[in-house]
Amino acid sequence: MRVEVRARDGRRLVAEDWGDPAGLPVLLHHGTPGSRLGTTLGDVTERCPGIRFFAYDRPGYGDSDRSRGRTVADAAADSAAVADALGLDTFAVVGRSGGGPHALACAALLPERVTGTAALVSLAPWGGAGLDWFAGMTAHNVEHYALAVRDPAALERRLTPRAAAIGSDPGRLLEELRAGLSEADLPVLSDPDVHQALMDNYREALRTSAYGWLDDSLAFCRPWGFDPGSIQGRVLLWHGAEDAFSPLGHFRWLAGHIDRSTAVLKPGAGHFAAQYAQPEALEWLL
């Protein structure tokens, strides 16, 4: 069910609510670029009964209003606004890929509301002590994020026509990314369920503008607005050992800085294998 929510500053956030109305509430943070429609595979409600899922399009994606200059930390207030609108006091959080940092923001900044957090193939903070942020990262992402740091206006000029083209033909993004994929990712993307989920995800994410994608990218490459080391709740960190989009060093940094984390490293798995890890994460949260 689609729901429109007003953030605390009056912005519109578009959310989705599905699953067991009486189940454990779980907020799903989508990837980058992404939308609320790309947070799960189609059979998740059958595979994971007893869960009430909800998700929202981060500012600038789909029909959610842009929040220029937003930080990763800002996701906590938006998440709280969506939960309030749905009448939820407490909830667990799962974030995959670009959703991982935003899930960790909820864990750090909403400790009284978040019952547990899973961050799958997440990036680590820009400027993290001892972390070489670009080490092991695919050349495509290095170029993208380096431009976010060096010249945000140039990144906007690049993303605007690209997002419009991908919104019309989402398969273009997978073709662009293919050169940087690990061998482990190729069979995942050949799965019809995964492929369809990604197509629906990218189409909705970029249907109206490139701003969500742009603002996510800029937020990752600036101070996040919170310290992951401050998280006191339970956190599952799941990562593929062959991930070149969120490199292994990011996983190791997070595991070394979040005291109450359970770190799961999957040998032979790439970035998109996290599509299959969600039931494992939900079981851990339950």
Mean pLDDT over residues 154-177, rounded?
91
pLDDT-derived band at 174, boundaries 50, 70, 90: confident
Average pLDDT over every residue of 82-111: 98
Q: Are 12 and 4 in contact (CB under 8 A)?
A: yes
Segment 219-254, tens digit of pLDDT: 999 999 999 999 999 999 999 999 999 999 999 999
In one-letter notation, the amino acid at residue 245 is F
SS (H, E, C) the chain: CEEEEECCCCCEEEEEEEECCCCEEEEEECCCCCCHHHCCCCCHHHHCCCEEEEEECCCCCCCCCCCCCCCCCHHHHHHHHHHHHCCCCCEEEEEECCHHHHHHHHHHHCCCCEEEEEEECCCCCCCCCCCCCCCCCCHHHHHHHHHHHHCHHHHHHHHHHHHHHHHHCCHHHHHHHHHHCCCCCHHHHCCHHHHHHHHHHHHHHCCCCCHHHHHHHHHHCCCCCCCHHHCCCCEEEEEECCCCCCCHHHHHHHHHHCCCEEEEEECCCCCCCHHHHHHHHHHHHC
d(CA 52, CA 34): 20
% of the chain exceeding 90 in pLDDT? 87
- Give me the phi and psi of 90, to 5 degrees please: -125, 155
CATH number of the domain residue 54 falls in: 3.40.50.1820
Average pLDDT over residues 16-45: 92
How does pLDDT run across 138-148, given as a tens digit for each residue? 999 999 999 99
Q: Please, are residues 2 and 37 in contact by the beta-carbon 8 Å criterion?
A: no
Residues sharing a CB contact under 8 Å with residue 42, sequence separation 6 or more, in sequence order: 193, 196, 197
The pLDDT, as a whole number, for residue 173 is 85
CA-CA distances (angstroms) from residue 107 to 69, 90, 115, 267? 22, 12, 8, 27
Better-scored residue on pLDDT, 64 or 171: 64
Q: Average pLDDT, stretch 1-5?
A: 94
Query: Is pLDDT at 180 greater than 90 in this prediction?
Result: no
- Domain count across the chain: 1
pLDDT score of 181: 80
Give the pTM.
Answer: 0.96
pLDDT in tens, 38-57: 888 877 777 778 999 999 99
Out of 103-112, 230-239, 274-283, which region has the weakest mean confidence (pLDDT)?
274-283
Find the radius of gyration of the CA atoms of the chain.
17
Domain region containing 213: 2-285
**Mean pLDDT score of the chain, rounded to an integer?**
95
